[in-house]
A and B are shown apart, each in its own frame.
Chain A
Amino acid sequence: MAAINRDDVAHLARLAHIEMSAEELDRMAGELAVIVDAVKSVSEAAGDGVPATSHPIPLSNVFREDEVGHTFTAEQALSGAPDSDADRFKVPAILDED
């Protein structure tokens, strides 16, 4: 079994801003451990000669030329905002970093 315990799940939930009940934490700890184990089997399939990859498609250097494309108007940009003021998104004050 992979080492994912209940505390790890509670920590991740806090980081991800997800509220979880005690029952959910218990259940997720078990489920996540199974998932991690399943993913781990990939490393068994790949031998020493297979380099690690972060992308399944063998592509690199997909670039865009530095040319200006379309933009939204402020009205369009804000059309889905729960609240706005002076053409800007209005959010509750959050005491965190600047």
Chain B
Amino acid sequence: MSTDATLSFEEAMEKYDPVLGFEVHVELNTKTKMFSSAPNVFGDEPNTNVNEVDLGMPGVLPVVNKTAVESSIKIGLALNCKIAESCRFARKNYFYPDTPKNFQTSQYDEPIAYDGYLDIELEDGTVFRVEIERAHMEEDAGKLTHLGGSAGRIQGAEYSLVDYNRAGVPLVEIVTKPIEGAGSRAPELAKAYVAAVREIVKNLGVSDAKMERGNVRCDANVSLRPHGRERFGIRSETKNVNSLRAVEHAVRYEIQRHAAVLDSGEPVIQETRHWHEDTRTTTSGRAKSDADDYRYFPEPDLVPVVPSREWVEEIRQTLPEPPAERRKRLKQDWGYSDLEFRDVVNAGVLDEIEETITAGASASVARKWWMGEIVGRAKNADVDPGQLGVTPATIVELSRMVEAGKINNKMASAVLDGVLAGEGTPAEVVEKRGLAVVSDDGPLLEAIDAALAAQPDVAEKIRGGKVQAIGAIVGGVMKATRGQADAGRVRELILEKLGVTV
């Protein structure tokens, strides 16, 4: 496979102005498929979540999934789109074994949602508005595995195996208008846009939004034009860029590749490109040709979808607060610094901290526990922090115990381990493990005597006024009591014992 020439990103930016466009496919998490009552479940045994409709058998009739329509309207509204007064489905005709019907049921001239926008916040806080052309309903295709050639690649494959479990899964395809003016921030914007769409559909609860499972898939269009020229250059479409990082890298690479092609005086070929994560490059797919003549026509087996304005308004009332607005509100309410808040967002514990605060913890205590104790444990266990099994109630109980002086911070951490090991509530773990702070002076005085006797020179220094030396004695007592003493009380008792007043 030949390697395409590229220019450095900086040089490409000096000479050219990038224009982007995205098609993001979102798989809905309905219980059933778009047009059949077969289950929409990921990862089941091949060809078991199918019935006659999904297999395109003769004489079958599709019926539209009401929840899928509702989810599509939700997505449209969240993208600030207009919702069509009336829209219809269309057949997109093509021959490929991923669809047993030889057409994909989609929408063509009448999408359910159109003319929207999404404000994308870049890392430095700059807001960039991306215009949405349309969001339309369609169905996913089956999954092909190419075998017999080199691992998984279609080139050289001898045959393909087809699993139709995914065929008919409801999709919403979101198409942007051409995005101009991003300049050198185009790769960053690309990533931020796809991240924002993913976050929105997840927040709406209409998709599982796992990119690694293909719930959100991105096709990235890139073209370049010389600075100052209005007419767009010829674009390439990089297919199935399926992680946020890959979206950024693919856009950057295509900009560099286009720049080298244009520099050589050649025209860019309008074609599909395939993204390769291993080499972070794209290779030529197929040129746009007759095969793209999909002969769309209205789907005769389905009647129009006419969402009443009452229904649309009803749905609008149920929409959750948009993620970007929610973050702004929470950051202000909690009083975290920019850095603290970003760490919380990146660690994925925003919801957990909010719940913990609702359960009665202060914002700083909630952050201390989630960021200081739980995130690290989750990382070790290789699960999301929210799935580790720590409830807000546990954190509130632990922090109350610390505040009341029943346990110290170190013990609280051990108590959390106990709770996670299934030993019961924090109170029960404290009881079982005998972790309560020793505040009975008797055992403490004994330990203090022993510590003083063990380090007579230190005792002498303290008596002589060098109070800062007390750490060594406190340390000895803590060691002797296996960390269960209240360090503050130990200090008081030592000073009292040595007759030092501070």
Contacts and interface: CB of A to CB of B under 8 A. Distances in A.
Interface of A: 11, 14-15, 17, 54-55, 57, 59-74, 77-78, 85-98
A60 B290 CA distance: 34
Contacts of A61: 303-307
B86 A62 contact: no
A71 B48 contact: yes
Contacts of A87: 45-47, 163
Contacts of B181: none
A39 B160 CA distance: 41
A88 B291 CA distance: 26
A87 B305 CA distance: 36
B37 A67 contact: yes
28 contacts: A15-B290, A54-B298, A54-B300, A55-B303, A60-B86, A60-B304, A61-B303, A63-B65, A63-B69, A64-B65, A65-B66, A67-B31, A68-B32, A70-B38, A71-B38, A72-B51, A72-B52, A89-B163, A90-B160, A91-B97, A91-B159, A91-B160, A93-B148, A93-B157, A96-B291, A98-B144, A98-B274, A98-B285
B96 A94 contact: yes
B170 to A, nearest CB: 10
Interface of B: 30-32, 36-39, 45-52, 55, 63-69, 86, 88, 93, 95-97, 144-146, 148-149, 154-155, 157-164, 239-240, 272, 274, 285-286, 290-291, 293, 295, 298, 300, 302-307
B9 to A, nearest CB: 27
B45 A86 contact: no
B303 A57 contact: yes
A62 B47 CA distance: 27
A89 B45 CA distance: 13
Contacts of B158: 93
Contacts of A11: 290, 293
B63 A68 contact: no
Given A72-B50, A93-B160, A59 B303 contact: yes
A61 B50 CA distance: 24
B97 A94 contact: yes
A35 B159 CA distance: 41
A62 B63 contact: yes
Nearest to B286: A97
Given A63-B66, A91-B160, 16 more contacts: A55-B303, A60-B305, A60-B306, A62-B63, A64-B32, A64-B64, A66-B65, A71-B49, A77-B47, A77-B50, A77-B164, A89-B97, A94-B96, A94-B97, A96-B96, A98-B274
B326 to A, nearest CB: 27
A68 B30 CA distance: 10
A24 to B, nearest CB: 20
Given A57-B303, A86-B161, A89-B97, A69 B63 contact: no
- List the 10 closest A-B pairs by CB distance, nearest first: A69-B37, A54-B298, A66-B67, A63-B66, A88-B161, A89-B162, A93-B157, A64-B63, A60-B306, A77-B47
A26 B295 CA distance: 22
B162 A98 contact: no
Main SS at interface, chain B: loop
A54 to B, nearest CB: 3
Contacts of B302: 62
Given A87-B46, A88-B161, A95-B154, A68 B148 contact: no
Contacts of A62: 63-64, 302-303
Contact of A93 (B149, B295, B300): B149
B246 to A, nearest CB: 15
Contacts of B46: 74, 86-88
A66 to B, nearest CB: 4
B311 to A, nearest CB: 9
B32 A97 contact: no
A55 B90 CA distance: 12
A66 B290 CA distance: 38
B304 A54 contact: yes
Contacts of B298: 54-55
Given A64-B64, A66-B68, A88 B51 contact: no
A89 B167 CA distance: 13
A73 to B, nearest CB: 7
B151 to A, nearest CB: 14
A68 B51 contact: no
A80 to B, nearest CB: 8
A69 B160 contact: no
Contact of A67 (B32, B51, B149, B304): B32
Contacts of A63: 63-66, 69
A69 B168 CA distance: 14
Contact of A69 (B48, B51, B86, B146): B51
Contacts of A85: 161
B155 to A, nearest CB: 8
Given A54-B298, A88-B46, A93 B64 contact: no
Contacts of B274: 98
Contacts of B65: 63-64, 66
A14 B290 CA distance: 9
A3 B69 CA distance: 39
A60 B303 contact: yes
A93 B147 CA distance: 8
